[in-house]
Amino acid sequence: MRRISIEALPNLYGKIAQSMDLILPVKTADQTNFSVWSDGCEVDLQTLKTVKSPKDAFFPQSETLYTVKKENRKLNVQPQALKDQDFVVFGMKACDLQGLAVLDKVFLAEPVDTFYAARREHGVVVTLACREPEESCFCKVFGVDPSQPNGDVATWIVDGYLYWKPITAKGEKLTELAKDLFEDASDDAVKAQQTSIQAIVEKLPYANLSLNGWNGDALDEKFNSKVWEELYKPCLGCGTCTFVCPTCQCYDIKDYDTGHGVVRYRCWDSCMYSDFTMMAHGNNRNSQMQRFRQRFMHKLVYFPANNDGMYSCVGCGRCVEKCPSSLNIVKVIKAFEKKEETV
Amino acid sequence: MQELINRAKQLLSDGTVARVLGWKAGDMTYNPEPAFFDNVKDLEEHFVYNGFCGANLSKYMIEASKLEGKTLVCLKPCDTYSFQQLLKEHRVDREKAYIIGVGCKGKLNIENIRKAGIKGILSVSGAELSDACDQLTITTLYGDKSLPYADAMLERCSVCKGKEHKIYDELLGDSKETKSADRFAEVERIENMSAEEKFAFFQSQLSKCIRCNACRNVCPACSCRKCVFDSTKFDSSQKANADSFEEKMFHIIRAFHVAGRCTDCGECSRVCPQGIPLHLFNRKFIKDINELYGEYQAGADIEAKAPLTSYVFEDVEPSVVAQRSRS
């Protein structure tokens, strides 16, 4: 275990940024999101939840796949170069890291998504333990321990110091880069903090949310439930929940007409949107109820069915905080629980 | 609140209305959700109306107008402007609505409570309509906190248009004036910026946009059956900002589209997950309309002609744009 004082963190940022991009929580216009560090930016390690998850660092909201240019009546196709430079994502929480594990299942399975794989290969993940979990957090339900994040390096902020523990070879290499800035430290302070975080986690209102009945085998029963008919009604059909989610991975592929060519790009899609998975024959989910159901069935039934029981929700609680109609996955789980009690 | 539940039960039981559109208690004090109730039992168990019921239910009346029978809808004073504007645009059916104008002491924004540094919120008291609504007591995982009610209010309540309901069948519950600021002060502040400062301001705000479309979907003035931005033929990105021009274009097009029809209900800013003050665009248009065409408040009057769709000799000439940009 090593440590660096909080006051000295700008030196660490500067040191890392000399050799690679450093992505970390930055406050801009009053909101904190993961962004590339630049000298003078307002790094914010206080805010527990960035509005968007750090998913963008590996799976950006919008990215070019290839470009086609018209030159002398010929089409010149230029593939987009894959990420080939190392970069660091600093300040990811344990739930966000679990989100990355979900994305890995999707994008690193055959056929491998080369854009994502290149970013995973070059990305160094430095996690940060959660000091003050919020009432909207329910990562415990998915087996995540916010006091014990993993990644390539794990860090904790205790009493004016950032404690730094390299975990993987990538993490050791990054530590080596900035070794002059660290001092050796015992892990007593971290252990004490972990105990207190775990005690708070036990007291969180959603700590004991039950996932009983949610699994890959529950498809017909959950899909055909009448509960959805009521639950979806306040849903505005916006994409907030899907775009702040660390695990939502659906995307659309589109062409942008530049006037003298085409940029083929992909961008996040939302199952809440009316043109989601639109095909030549039309759309197979043509009501908001069906679109709403899709999101939760995917997280709690379809994904575990295809991935050895792994849920594609990590309990970060961003949707809980951000839904304009105060709907969320917790309310869905509770509504089904209640329904089953009354049957 | 009990008075409201009793009245709704009565109207539902005697067949005056087929359903009630109000708010359903969430699992936290601060997360009630818009809900339809079609039976007395659900009303008794789940209906809630408190400071966190900020959602404007007018827009849900577009769909409710297509249903069999009347819908009892609870509208706050500012929501009635939206309903009346929708009525004017023939998007809702007056015959299908039984409007209870509910009292309002200002609506709360949980984000403001969080911004005050209050974390791990377990419950909030002092936000019932029967309360004085002066002070909130907040129980958290990290101890009890308190916050003045006004500090936790939505921005729109500090520039409230007044607690008078513009359209209703009956009124229930007390209101309390919440206006404490000038509605156009922030617009004026931006008007006085240099071009570079304005650009930097909007760039920093709009670059946060994640294109979730919450502002559009919640907006009572955005009632097109199919939005141009949802067209698969629209040759630009709809779900993500391709570049920094796109993010501005979406919001500017939307502001132009609702100009003269936006009642300034403030829902766009309430729902924005990135806290973008989207209402400022709309308020700039309202301010300009007031200055160029005479005072006009969308939704205030069912008969008044809308300034941008009625043409009179005295209308300002397009050259005003050049004149104003010189001054």
Q: Are residues B164 and B196 in the same domain?
A: no
Hey, CA dihedral for B67, B72, B73, B77, is it positive or negative?
Answer: positive
Q: Which tens digits make up the pLDDT trace of A194-247?
A: 999 999 999 999 999 999 999 999 999 999 999 999 999 999 999 999 999 999
Q: Are residues A137 and A225 in the same domain?
A: no
* pLDDT value of residue B235: 58
Number of folded domains that form chain A: 2
What is the number of CB-based contacts under 8 A between chain A and chain B?
A: 136
| Structural domain includes residue B232 | yes
Q: Are residues A226 and A157 in the same domain?
A: no
Residue appearing with tokens 């979730």 = B212
- Put the strands of the sheet holding B143-148 in their side by side order: B121-125, B135-140, B143-148
* pLDDT value of residue B324: 82
B232 touches chain A (CB under 8 A): yes
**What proportion of chain A, given as a percentage, has pLDDT over 70?**
99
- Across the interface, do A243 and B212 touch by the CB < 8 Å criterion? yes
- Across the interface, do B240 and A267 touch by the CB < 8 Å criterion? yes
Which residue in chain A has the smallest CA separation from B216?
A238
Axis crossing angle, helix B244-258 with helix B195-206, rounded to the nearest 10: 100
Residue appearing with tokens 């993961």 = A34
Among partner residues B212, B237, B271, which is closest to A254 by beta-carbon distance?
B237
Q: Are residues B196 and B224 in the same domain?
A: yes
Which residues of B are less than 8 Å from A277 in CB distance? none
B121 touches chain A (CB under 8 A): yes
Find the mean pLDDT for residues A79-92: 97
Q: Are residues B165 and B224 in the same domain?
A: no
Q: Is the per-residue pLDDT at A258 higher than 80? A: yes
Buried b (16+ CB within 10 A) or exposed e, A148-184: ebbbbbbbbbbeebbbbbbbeebbeebbebbeebbee
* pLDDT value of residue B237: 60
Q: Which tens digits make up the pLDDT trace of B134-143?
A: 999 999 999 9
Q: How confident is the model at residue A339 (pLDDT cuts 50, 70, 90)?
A: confident
Among partner residues B34, B110, B212, which is closest to A325 by beta-carbon distance?
B34
Which residue in chain A has the smallest CA separation from B220?
A236
| Structural domain includes residue A72 | no
Find the mean pLDDT for residues B248-261: 91
B304 touches chain A (CB under 8 A): no
B250 touches chain A (CB under 8 A): no
Report the C-alpha gap between B24 and B35 in whole angstroms: 6
| Structural domain includes residue A73 | no
Number of folded domains that form chain B: 2
| Structural domain includes residue B119 | no
Q: Are residues B51 and B191 in the same domain?
A: no
B229 touches chain A (CB under 8 A): no
Distance from CA of A105 to the nearest CA of B (A): 24
| Structural domain includes residue B264 | yes
Distance from CA of A137 to the nearest CA of B (A): 9
Q: Are residues A236 and A156 in the same domain?
A: no
Q: Are residues B73 and B193 in the same domain?
A: no
> Which element (helix H / strand E) includes A155?
strand A153-158
* Final residue belonging to a domain, choices B172, B195, B212: B172
* pLDDT value of residue B236: 58
Q: Are residues B164 and B243 in the same domain?
A: no
Q: Are residues B18 and B60 in the same domain?
A: yes
- Across the interface, do A254 and B270 touch by the CB < 8 Å criterion? no
Distance from CA of A15 to the nearest CA of B (A): 27
Q: Which tens digits make up the pLDDT trace of B262-286?
A: 999 999 999 999 999 999 999 999 9
Which residues of A are less than 8 Å from B140 in CB distance? 135
Q: Is the per-residue pLDDT at A148 higher than 70? A: yes
A276: DSSP letter: T
Q: Which tens digits make up the pLDDT trace of B115-169?
A: 999 999 999 999 999 999 999 999 999 999 999 999 999 999 999 999 999 999 9
- Across the interface, do A239 and B241 touch by the CB < 8 Å criterion? no
* Final residue belonging to a domain, choices A203, A233, A248: A203
Among partner residues A205, A240, A327, which is closest to B33 by beta-carbon distance?
A327
| Structural domain includes residue A209 | no
B32 touches chain A (CB under 8 A): yes
- Across the interface, do A62 and B240 touch by the CB < 8 Å criterion? yes
Q: How confident is the model at residue B318 (pLDDT cuts 50, 70, 90)?
A: confident
Which residues of A are less than 8 Å from B241 in CB distance? 61-62
Which residues of B are less than 8 Å from A232 in CB distance? none
Which residues of B are less than 8 Å from A256 in CB distance? 235-237, 242
Alpha helices in B155-260 (DSSP H): 155-158, 185-191, 195-206, 214-218, 244-258
Partners of A126 in beta bridges: A90, A153
* pLDDT value of residue A76: 95
Q: Is the per-residue pLDDT at B92 higher than 90? A: yes
Report the C-alpha gap between B235 and A255 in whole angstroms: 8
Phi, psi (deg, nearest 5) at residue B181: -140, 165
Q: How confident is the model at residue A279 (pLDDT cuts 50, 70, 90)?
A: confident
Using only C-alpha atoms, what is the Rg of chain A? Answer: 22
Q: Is the per-residue pLDDT at A249 higher than 90? A: yes
| Structural domain includes residue B257 | yes
Q: Are residues A170 and A40 in the same domain?
A: yes
| Structural domain includes residue B146 | no
Strand, helix or coil at B188?
A: helix
Q: Are residues A51 and A126 in the same domain?
A: yes
* pLDDT value of residue B24: 97
- Across the interface, do B33 and A326 touch by the CB < 8 Å criterion? yes
Q: Are residues A23 and A122 in the same domain?
A: yes
Q: How confident is the model at residue B244 (pLDDT cuts 50, 70, 90)?
A: low
Hey, CA dihedral for B1, B5, B10, B11, is it positive or negative?
Answer: positive
pTM of the complete model: 0.95
Around Cβ B94, how many Cβ atoms within 10 Å? 14
Q: Is the per-residue pLDDT at A343 higher than 60? A: no
Which residue in chain A has the smallest CA separation from B117?
A47
More confident residue, A165 or A70: A165
Distance from CA of A81 to the nearest CA of B (A): 18
* pLDDT value of residue B234: 67
Q: Are residues B308 and B166 in the same domain?
A: no
Q: Is the per-residue pLDDT at B233 higher than 80? A: no
| Structural domain includes residue B100 | yes
Q: How confident is the model at residue B172 (pLDDT cuts 50, 70, 90)?
A: very high
B151: DSSP letter: G
Report the C-alpha gap between A202 and A141 in whole angstroms: 11
Which residue in chain A has the smallest CA separation from B232?
A275
| Structural domain includes residue A38 | yes
| Structural domain includes residue A263 | no
Q: Are residues A174 and A246 in the same domain?
A: no
- Across the interface, do B275 and A31 touch by the CB < 8 Å criterion? yes
- Across the interface, do B119 and A132 touch by the CB < 8 Å criterion? yes
Q: Which domain holds residue B254?
A: 185-326
| Structural domain includes residue B258 | yes
Which residues of A are less than 8 Å from B35 in CB distance? 233-234
Q: Checking DSSP bridges between strand A123-128 and strand A87-92, what pairing results, if any? A: parallel
Residue appearing with tokens 């919120």 = B121
**What proportion of chain B, given as a percentage, has pLDDT over 90?**
84
Q: Is the per-residue pLDDT at B2 higher than 70? A: yes
Q: Are residues A251 and A319 in the same domain?
A: yes
Q: Are residues B82 and B221 in the same domain?
A: no
Find the mean pLDDT for residues A118-146: 97
Task: Give the range among A8-12, A311-315, B128-132, B297-301 with minimum mean pLDDT.
Answer: B128-132
Distance from CA of A200 to the nearest CA of B (A): 8
Q: Which tens digits make up the pLDDT trace of B184-204?
A: 999 999 999 999 999 999 989
- Put the strands of the sheet holding A21-28 in their side by side order: A31-36, A21-28, A87-92, A123-128, A153-158, A161-166, A2-5, A183-184
Report the C-alpha gap between B145 and A69 in whole angstroms: 61
Q: Are residues B43 and B167 in the same domain?
A: yes
- Across the interface, do B212 and A239 touch by the CB < 8 Å criterion? yes
* Final residue belonging to a domain, choices B140, B172, B204: B172
* pLDDT value of residue A278: 84
* pLDDT value of residue B322: 85
Q: Is the per-residue pLDDT at B62 higher than 90? A: yes
- Across the interface, do A31 and B32 touch by the CB < 8 Å criterion? no
| Structural domain includes residue B214 | yes
Distance from CA of B208 to the nearest CA of A (A): 8
- Across the interface, do A204 and B141 touch by the CB < 8 Å criterion? yes
Q: Which domain holds residue A276?
A: 219-256+268-337
Which residue in chain B has the smallest CA separation from A133?
B120
Q: Are residues A283 and A323 in the same domain?
A: yes
Which residue in chain A has the smallest CA separation from B229?
A275
Distance from CA of B289 to the nearest CA of A (A): 28
Q: Is the per-residue pLDDT at B242 higher than 70? A: no
B39 touches chain A (CB under 8 A): no
Mutate to test the interface with B, among A50, A229, A240 (most CBs of B within 10 A): A240
Report the C-alpha gap between A128 and B71 in whole angstroms: 50
Q: Are residues B215 and B101 in the same domain?
A: no
Task: Give the range among A47-56, A257-266, B140-149, B226-235 with minimum mean pLDDT.
Answer: B226-235
List Cα–Cα distances, A252 to A208, A237, A268, A312, in angstroms: 36, 17, 6, 19
Distance from CA of B316 to the nearest CA of A (A): 36
Which residue in chain A has the smallest CA separation from B218?
A236
Report the C-alpha gap between B324 and A48 in whole angstroms: 45
Q: How confident is the model at residue B226 (pLDDT cuts 50, 70, 90)?
A: confident
- Across the interface, do B239 and A268 touch by the CB < 8 Å criterion? yes
Q: Are residues A195 and A240 in the same domain?
A: no
* Final residue belonging to a domain, choices A179, A203, A227: A203
Report the C-alpha gap between A325 and A162 in whole angstroms: 38
Q: Is the per-residue pLDDT at B260 higher than 70? A: yes
Which residues of B are less than 8 Å from A229 in CB distance? none
Cβ-contact A153, A127 below 8 angstroms: yes
Cβ-contact A94, A146 below 8 angstroms: yes
Axis crossing angle, helix A94-107 with helix A114-122, rounded to the nearest 10: 140
- Across the interface, do A331 and B218 touch by the CB < 8 Å criterion? no
- Across the interface, do B242 and A256 touch by the CB < 8 Å criterion? yes
Report the C-alpha gap between A26 and A34 in whole angstroms: 6
